[in-house]
Amino acid sequence: MSKELNKLNELECEAKSLPAKDYQAASALINKTIALSIALCGKENHHIQGFHKINFQPHGIITCAVNDFVLEAWESGLSEYLSCLKNIKQEIEFASEFPKPLEYTNQVTIPWLWKNVPAKNLWGAGALIVGLLAASFWLGYEKKKNIEELTNTFTEDKVSLPSKEVEKNVSKNQAPLKKP
């Protein structure tokens, strides 16, 4: 992208060094810029329309009669041109900040992952796997511990069943059932 930015910087320097009222040089510069814009952004980009709207000459005024209007139109056209160049530069710089998309592959292998995935993502995935593994072991241990506690509370040693003597005493103390 630096080559494109260098070309745009050269066009900017050329525009700033244009002598005032050199309409042919300005038109040639706009044509060069449109060609570069097509090469960088394609034929259907909005910058082309912006460059076509730039006008260095005043409209409807005899150019030799009023010099102030001519200079004002020239400065306005130059300002619009530099603004359009700045917009293209910003788009190119913004686009260069994003990483290129990964190339298509039929197989995802460990070497392919190592080559194409950033290290911080690999470390994150590794930490996630280790964390899930540790959590599963911990949950398994806790479940086993809970099951052991439950089974220990219901063993014959700790739970005493009523003896036959207690049953006899209970049956003696009960009043006989009356029939209605």
The label of the residue with tokens 């041109």 reads: 81
pLDDT tens per residue across span 139-152? 988 888 888 777 77
pLDDT exceeds cutoff 70 at 1: no
pLDDT exceeds cutoff 80 at 29: yes
The answer to whether the CB of 84 falls within 8 A of the CB of 54 is yes
Average pLDDT over residues 167-175: 59
Q: If we measure between CA atoms, which residue out of 63, 64, 70, 75 comes closest to residue 15?
A: 75
Instruction: Show me where the domains of the chain are located.
Output: 2-97, 107-173
Tokens of 45: 């980009």
pLDDT exceeds cutoff 80 at 175: no
Q: How much is the pLDDT for 173? A: 57
The answer to whether the CB of 84 falls within 8 A of the CB of 48 is no
Confidence bin at 180 (pLDDT 50/70/90): low
CA angle 139, 143, 149 (to 5 degrees): 145
Residues in the chain: 180
The answer to whether the CB of 115 falls within 8 A of the CB of 102 is no
pLDDT tens per residue across span 118-140? 889 889 999 999 999 999 999 98
Q: How much is the pLDDT for 134? A: 94
How many other CB atoms sit within 10 Å of the CB of residue 83? 11
Burial 125-155 (b: 16+ CB within 10 A, else e): eeeeeeeeeeeeeeeeeeeeeeeeeeeeeee
Q: What is the pTM of this model?
A: 0.49
pLDDT tens per residue across span 57-95? 776 655 455 667 777 887 888 888 888 888 888 887 777
Q: How much is the pLDDT for 135? A: 93
Average pLDDT over residues 24-35: 84
Q: How much is the pLDDT for 82? A: 86
CB neighbour class for 91 (10 Å; exposed up to 12, middle 13-18, buried from 19): middle
Residues 6+ apart with CB under 8 A from 57: 23, 63, 70, 73, 74, 77
